[in-house]
Each structure stands twice: as C-alpha cells, then as structure tokens.
Amino acid sequence: MIFFGSVYPWQLYFYYPQEKINEGQFLIGRLSGAKKLDLAVLKPLYESNDLGEIDPNYRGFQEMARNFVLAAGLGEKPYGFCVFVIERSDLVQIDIVLTAPGWRRKGLGRFLLGALEQACLPGTVIYVDQVTEIGRKFFMSCGFTKDVNLFKIAGRPDENCFPAQNVIAWK
C-alpha cells in the first residue's frame, strides 16, 4: 500500500488505454504498489446523486477509457479518481478529480495528485483547463497557481497579423 503522508492507508489503482501502452507502463513503473484498475468499479462514483458542482452529464465520464486514470481507496474499493491526459512527456492535463461524498476533505484528492506528480518526470507541467469554484480552491491549496492562457480579441487590427486582403475566405 502507498501512503504519501496520508492518515489513511490508500491503495492506488491505475488504468491506461491499450493504445497508450508505452506511456502507461512508464507511469506505472513510477507508482510503487499500484494495481491494475477496472474502470467499471468507478461507475458508482460518477453515477451517484452527489457530484458536488460537477454536471452529471459531463462528457468526460463517457470518454474516460481513452485517458489515463488514477484511483485510490481502502482495500479493493476505490473512493476517488483522477483522470488525466498526457499531451507531451512534459505536459499533463488533469481532466477531473472526483471523490465519493463520504471521503471528501480527508486527503484522498491530495493523495491522487501526489501520486500523479510522483508518476511524472521532474519538471512536468500539470495543469487544469476547466475547473469549478470548489475545484479551483482545492487545486490552489495543492500548490497550483492561477495563470492565464494567451488570447487575442478578434477584430482588433494588429500590424503583426496578415492584412485582411491576404486572407483566403473560408467556404
């Protein structure tokens, strides 16, 4: 069992899609004691009536099998999971972290993020693109910082962009 400083003896589970076997085997090699995860055991967690701020129709639940999943629980029953996408070897996006209602605020989410960080190479950027208000507070309490992506407001002229007459119209 893996502890990561938690008061609970969490067992870690890991799932990776077969088409991402190289990345999956690399990550599991960095997660001492992790067991293979059957995604079906997570269904009761995301089909429950208490998802907090998360939309019960969130499409990430249906797309989970295409991504990497860390789960943790006591014994053979997971009580929380973290779904993530490896964009590059040094860039990982967290899709969702969800814990069962009775296990919230007991260190399980932090444990999952600690396991994810352990699995990644030093220097890897781990980020969250979309987050709920409670999620934002959670991630910031775990050391994430607020950042802003680059953006441009369409319609404002810029000397570094192509002039309008050089743009080919879309059909």
- Segment 149-165 shows an average pLDDT of 51
Task: Identify residue 24 by its one-letter amino acid code.
Answer: G
- List residues bridging with 8 in a β-sheet: none
In order of 39, 108, 132, the CA distances from 98 in angstroms are: 14, 9, 12
Q: What is the percent of the chain with per-residue pLDDT over 70, rounded to a whole number?
A: 77
Question: Among the listed ranges 16-20, 39-43, 119-123, which one has the minimum average pLDDT value?
Answer: 39-43
Judged against a pLDDT cut of 50, whether residue 1 lies above it is answered with no
- The percent of the chain in helix, strand and coil, each rounded to the nearest 5, is 30, 25, 45
| Structure confidence at residue 22 as a pLDDT band (50, 70, 90) | very high
What pLDDT was estimated at residue 148? 57
What's the pLDDT tens digit per position in 64-117? 889 999 999 988 888 988 999 999 988 999 998 988 888 888 889 999 999 999
Q: How is the beta sheet containing 11-15 ordered, strand by strand? A: 35-36, 11-15, 68-74, 77-88, 91-99, 125-128
What pLDDT was estimated at residue 87? 93
What pLDDT was estimated at residue 170? 45
pTM equals: 0.79
Q: How far apart are the first and last CA of the chain?
A: 58
Judged against a pLDDT cut of 70, whether residue 153 lies above it is answered with no
| Structure confidence at residue 30 as a pLDDT band (50, 70, 90) | very high
